[in-house]
Amino acid sequence: MRSRNLFLPLWLLLCPLAMRAQEIVSQQIEQLPDAPQFQAQAQQPTQALNSATTNSPASLPPDSTGEVLTRQKAEQLALKNNPRISVAALLTLAQKQVVRETRSALLPTLNGNVTGVDAEEASRISAGSLDASRLLYHVGAGVDLKQLITDFGRTRNLVASSSFEAKASEQQSMATREDIVLAADIAFYNALEAQATLQVAKSTVKARQAVGDQVNALTASKLKSTLDQSFAQVNLSQAKLLDLDSQNQFDAAMANLNEVLGTTSNQQYQLVDDPSPPLPVAPSADAVIALALQQRPDLLALKLNHEADVRFSRAQHEQLLPTISGLGKVGITPVGSTAYFNPDWYGAAGVNVGIPIFEGFKFHAQAAEADLRAKASGEQSRVLINRIVRDVRTAWLRANTAQQKMSVTAELLQEANTALDLADTRYRLGLSSIVELSQAQLQQTQAQIAEANARFDYEADLAALRFQSGSQP
C-alpha cells in the first residue's frame, strides 16, 4: 500500500517529462528529408510512361555539361564521321570501276607506235625468232586497231556479272549504314541508361547523407541508439558505392558512344530522349519477317551476288566458243629504203577467228568451278533467310517483353514509393526500426533504376527490331 502511494507521485512527475521528450523527438524526426522521388507517378501505366518520358533524370541532368545530343543527331553524326561508312562507300565506287574495266573489252583498242631502227642493212636474224627476220634501217609511225566482233556472249556476261556485283556492293554499303545506325542507337540508349542510373545514385547519396546527418544529431542527443547511426552510415556507404559504379558505367558508355560517333576525343554530351512515347511493337512477328525478307539489304546483296555468280558461270562456259575480232593497221614510213618501204603509207585490215582447241581441260575446270560457286551462293541465301527469320522472331520477343516490363516497373516504382512513405512514417512515429526504413529505401532505389532503364531497354529493342526488319531510317 505504501509503495503504491509512492508510485503515483512519481508517475505524475515523470509523465510530463516523457511527453516533452516525445515532442522533441517528433520535432527532430520531422526535420528528416522526405524520401527521394524519382518522378511523379500516375495511376495508369500509360500515364506513368508519359511521366517517365517528361520527368526522367536521363532527359537532361542538371549538372551535366556538353553538347545536347538526341538519338536522331547521334545517328547523323555516326553516318557522317564513322570510318566504316567511308570504307563501304569507297569499296562501292571501286566495284563500279570494275564494271568499266570489264566493259572495255567491247570497245575498240587503238594503239599508236613510232619506231626507228638502225640496222646492218638487209642483214638477217639467225636465231630466236620465226618472224620476218630481215633487218632494215627505217623510221615509221602508225596505229593499230583491234575490235572484238563477237565472242558469243562471254564478255557481255562478264559485264553483267560485274554489274550485279556493283549493285551488291551498294546494298552492302546500305547494310553498313544500317549497322552504324543500330550501333549509334544502342550506344545512345546505353548511355541514357547509365545517365539515369547515375542521376538516381547521386540523388540517393544526397538523401541518405541528409538522413545520416539527422540520425547522427539524434544519436548525439541520446534520442537514437548507435544502431540507428550504424545503419544510416551503412546505407550512405552503399549509396556512395552505387554512385561510383554508376559513374564508371556512365564514363564507359560515353566512351563507347564516342567510338560509334567516329571521334577519339572524350566528348561529353547532354543526352536527351525523344519526349514522345515509343511506338508499340507489331502485333505479330510474321509481318516483320515478311518485311525483312523484302528489304533487308544484306539479303538483297547476297541475291545479287548469286546473280553475278550465275552470269560469271555462263561466261566461263562460253570460253569454249570461238572469238572473232577485226584488225587494222595504218601508218607511214618517211625514212627507209624504197626497195622495201612505201614512202607514203602502209595499211592493212583483216579478221581473226580464234578457236580454242585444247587448253589442258582448263576451261572445263573453270566452268565447273563457276557452276559450283553459283550453287553455293544460292544456298548461302537460304542460310541467311533462315537466320533472318530467327533473328526477327528473337528481336520481336525481346521488344514485346520489354514493352510489358515498362508497365510492370512503373507499378513496381509506385508500390516502392508507397512502401517507403509508410516506412518513413512508421519510423517517424517510433513504430519501426531503421532497418525497415533502410530496406524500403533500397527497394525504392532499385525500382527507380529498373523503371528508368525499362524504357531505354524497350527503345533499344525497338531499334534492334527495326534493324532486323531492314527499316532503319
State how far the Cα of 406 lies from the Cα of 218, in Å rounded to an integer: 40
pLDDT of residue 59: 43
Overall residue count recorded for the chain in this entry: 473
pTM of the model: 0.75
| Grid cell locating 429 | 512515429
User: In this structure, what are the phi and psi dihedrals at residue 373, rounded to the nearest 5 degrees?
Assistant: -65, -35
Nearest to 256 by CA among 188, 321, 201, 335: 188
Domain residue extents for the chain = 33-107+151-320+361-469, 108-150+322-355
**CATH number attached to the domain at 108-150+322-355:** 2.20.200
- pLDDT averaged per 10 residues, the chain (length 473): 44 47 46 38 32 37 69 92 92 94 92 87 76 81 91 93 95 93 94 91 88 81 78 87 93 93 88 84 90 92 95 94 92 83 83 91 94 94 94 94 91 90 81 80 88 90 91 65
pLDDT given for residue 473 in this prediction: 53
Give the Cα-Cα-Cα angle 171, 470, 160 (nearest 5 degrees): 25
Assess contact for 236 and 215: CB atoms under 8 A.
Answer: no
The CATH class of the 33-107+151-320+361-469 domain is mainly alpha
* Contact yes or no for 304/171 (Cβ under 8 A): yes
Question: Dihedral of the CA atoms 413, 419, 424, 430 (nearest 10)?
Answer: -170
CA torsion angle for 46, 49, 53, 57 (degrees, to 10)?
A: 150
